[in-house]
Each structure stands twice: as C-alpha cells, then as structure tokens.
Amino acid sequence: MCDTLVTFTPKGMIFGKNSDRDPNEVQNLVQVPPQDHPQGETVKCTSIEIPQVSHTNGVLLSQPCWMWGAEIGVNEFGVAIGNEALFTKVPPLKENKYLLGMDLLRLGLERGKSAKEALDVIISLLEQFGQGGNCGFNHSLYYNNSYLIADKNEAYVLETVDRMWAWKRITTYWAISNGISLTKDYDAVSKDLIPFAVHKKWCKSADQFNFQKNYSAWFMTAMAKAHSRRACNFDCLVKFQAEIGLADVMTALRSHGDNDKKAEWNPLNSKLISVCAHASGLTSPSHTTNSMVIWIPATGPYAVFSTASSTVCTSVYKLLFAPGLNLPKEYKPGVKQAQLDAYWWKAEQFNRAAMNHYSELSKAYFTERNQFEQALIRKVLSHQLTQADLEESFTDANRLMDKYYARLKAQPLDKNAKKRQKFWQKFDAASGLAIYL
C-alpha cells in the first residue's frame, strides 16, 4: 500500500510519497541522465519492449531492485510522479505482457516536460499497450493504478481501470491512498469509462455515474484502510494549507494514526495499516520501503529529500539530489540479498533493530533526528545547494544512525516487540541480514 500527497504553497510545491512494498524488497535511488536515441530503437520495460522516443529526460527514480519502472521520481524539468495500486471491480490483467504502473510512471517522467505532458504520455501509452502483470516481490500481486503528477504550477490526479481513465487538475492539495479518490469531480474521462459502468449495471445512467462508488472493489479497498489513511493525510493538508512546510509533510508520512498517542506502542505489533506502514502479518503485509519528499520552488532549482531506506518513522530524511548534482558518492544501490555496503541494507539493519527498541529511540533519537532534518530544510530554503551539501547530509545522517545503533544493541527488546519476532525473523533469514553485529 502507498500514500502520496501534493500541496501548493505561496513559495512552491511539496510532493511526498511513502512507497509500501514487500519486506526485503530493496528500493534504490537511480539517476538516469538525459539521452538521445536513434530512430527505430526500442526500450525494454519490465516485461515488454515498446518504441523509444528520440530523446528522454534526465530522471531521479526510486526503483524496486527487480523492475525497470519506479515508485517515485522527478525529472530534470521538475515534474514529480508517484503511483499507487487501485483495487477495482475490473480484474487486473495477470499476464506479463503489459506495462506495469511503475513503468508508466518512469515513461511519463522521461517523456514529459510538464505535469500535463507527463499525464498525456501516461494516458497514451496506457491506451496503446495496457497495464498489467505481476507487481509483487515476495508474492504475486496484481492491480490497476492511480497517479499524482505535479510540477511547480499544477498537479493532476489520474486514476485508471484497465485502459480506461479519469483525471482532475489540482491547484491546492490532494492525496491518494490506494482508493479511487475521484467521484463526480473529474475534468476528463476516457470515452468508455462511463458506458462500461452503465453496461455492467454499476450505475443506472451516465448522469448518476460516480467513479469511486461505481468502480471500487470495496473489500480490498477497506482492507487497505484506504479511506482512513487518505483522511489522515488530508487532515494534515487542511490543517496547515498554504502554511504547510516540508517538516509537516515528513511528519504526516511518519504517522501511525492513533497509535502514536499510545504509551509503549511498538510498530512490530501493529495489526492495522497506517501511513507509515509496518508489515506485521496477514492484515498488514506491506512495509514502507522508501519515502521521498520533493521541494519544487516557484523559482529556482528543486531539492529531493529521501530516507533511501525503509521504515520512515525510524529513518532519517537526507538531502540526496538537486538539478546539476549527483547522488552522494558513498551511496551504493542494493540487490535482493543483504550486503551492508549497499545503503538500503545498512539502513535496514538499523531500522529492524530500531523497531525492536522503539521505546528506547523515543528518549533522544527522534529529537536529534528531527533537529537534523530541520537544519537541512533551512539550508535548502536559504541558499543554492552544492554537491558538498549532499555529501555532508549523507555522511552526517549515517553518523547519527551509527551512534544510535551502537546504543540499541546493548538494550533489551521492547516487550511489545517480542510478539512479532518470528514474523520478521523469516525475512532476516531469507535475505541473510544479521540485525546485531
């Protein structure tokens, strides 16, 4: 499950997403430069090849290690996109002969110079090649997709069912959380979306059409807690509105709802899906495997904050990318098996220990981490970033993580963490990750 939000302020646009995937599914940051391509070239997406265009934009992607596409990304023109699973009455196509929603996200970034152009690219390719195939890592998972697509001027929410779609232009704020968010308030729909619903008797007439009501698969949407998670994000957006800041969005993406108010609560024992997702069993199988917050000012270059790791509540947002700069030189991508020289796995070692000792973290770590992030935000808002800023952010965040990892190893487990140790131990064993070294 995932949560994606966008909000516009007088000084710029903030875009954020938690990517919730299977535990152990490494998600890497990948920088792809702009490229020219010869006529007749094709591009191999996750499952199929499609014709390449003559030029592709430079992009930064948050990419699950096994696929071509991405969960979150931004291109050189400041277009940001996040996608999410949608569970609808129209069964998703299971054959691996279509584009994944994540492929469409990357294609939109590589081929669109504005949010509207990226929207049009995704719709065109969706209609031409369709969406489908296995989207899961530890287990098979099939779904349709929704998207938030934004630049500094405007945003679009695009929600799709097979090759059908509807979209709405956004100029204030919006959030999506694995449920159809559009009802009657769309700006455009594909020609067959409404007639198909009438034909299936999901609505009596075109005048009565309601996208959310007529197409949602209610059981899966309810199991995903789509409405409560979206409401949680909307509460944050409505509360702050134009005064919202980067730190507020980071806080929203770390939310566990009412559990954050409970003494001695531990995320390992959470049976309910929250914005900050923790895998704990059948009713909560997904885990946040990366989080990204993108600041796109009204004027000037954008900046990308990312945990580059799982478990947003225990991770640190680092300043990791800006136009004209590169990912920190010490950042190394990971593969399926645990390798501690890869950043995602190094951070995963800390994050799994941190969940075991969540109450200990609350004593000092959260305060120090939040102060670190607030200092980064002030830096982003006050001067033009350099490569040295990115390197320093990455190094200092690692130093903070190492400091508290050393402390946690000497502490007893939270009593509420012990109940779910067996659930997580199977993921440790499958990846070869040793939590305490």
**Which residue in the block uniquely carries the two structure tokens 């903070």?**
400
One-letter amino acid for residue 202 of the chain: W
Close Cβ partners of 38 (under 8 Å, ≥ 6 residues apart): none
**Is 2 marked active-site?**
yes
- As a whole number of angstroms, the distance between CA 142 and CA 59 comes to 26
**Which residues share a beta bridge with 132?**
93
| CA 339 vs CA 136, 137, 352, 428: distances in Å | 22, 18, 15, 12
337 three-state secondary structure: coil
- As a whole number of angstroms, the distance between CA 134 and CA 176 comes to 22
Which of 2, 232, 236, 276 is catalytic? The answer is 2
Q: Which residues of 61-95 are buried (b: 16+ CB within 10 A; e: fewer)?
A: bbbbbebbbbbbbbbbbbbbbbbbbbbbebebbee
- As a whole number of angstroms, the distance between CA 180 and CA 355 comes to 32
Q: What is the DSSP letter of 96?
A: S
- DSSP annotation string for 240-258: HGGG--HHHHHHHHT--GG
Close Cβ partners of 318 (under 8 Å, ≥ 6 residues apart): 305, 306, 307, 308, 328, 376, 393, 394, 397
Q: Per 3-state DSSP, what percentage of the chain is helix, strand, and coil (rounded to 5)? A: 35, 25, 40
Q: Which of these, 361, 389, 364, 354, lies nearest to 375 by C-alpha position?
A: 389
**Which residue in the block uniquely carries the two structure tokens 């992030």?**
373
- Give the catalytic positions in this structure: 2
